[in-house]
Structure 1
């Protein structure tokens, strides 16, 4: 297979945009495992499409941003004016706002302690599954022994 021709066929763009048929997506996924160059090409296509979207994006009018920022300021002032405790023993927490930044954050960082906890939970789950299987086999064996001892086989007559 000529990989250059495959890349130029536009199938990567179709897959990234979700316009490919399931067969085309399956084929592309399979070929990505064989040809690592397709992964690089897919990232290039994703970035190119993202850049095009940002270049052609229509920004909202400036007065919309001003109104939103005023509203946030009013909410924050109201929060500061509230008493520290609302009578139930609960303290008021400041409002949380999400920072929206353009672009994709392509990395997720996880603390080493979360990784250790995850590995520990996997090991514990496997140990519990193994012990459950072992105990189930023991119970089956004991049931067979009890049934055999309580109901002996009749003697075979000749």
Structure 2
């Protein structure tokens, strides 16, 4: 689904988006706002690159960061919930990961955790291993996957 179709689907369903981005640095918000007229379904984007920003802007708990690290499904869930709580959004997506270069044995380059917070549903998270394809390719794949998660959330019937 292209971004124009995603925005049209959001309009039809009454959804309002927010993004919480770490490793993509705002690329998801840019993709959504590159389309004229997107302001009726996109409320805001949070670029929370540092742990302090995650805590200050999205209410990610210090305990969560200490226990799991910034690149974790637990932090991705808290980021998505925080983005929705601090906006008018009905649907928020979050990303936190290791775009590269680098990484470690425990958190390799290309690992990205996603969160999805939606009214009427439990917050979901997942980890995708994109692999060491290079910083730009990991960030682009992350953006595209986040947009696909938003589309899936709007096309799947809600489970309450």
Query: Max radius of gyration: which structure?
Result: 1
| Structure with a larger share of its residues in strand | 2
Greater relative CO (CA pairs within 8 A, separation 6+): 2
TM-score by length of 2: 0.19
TM-score using structure 1 length: 0.19
Structure (1 or 2) with the greater helix fraction: 1
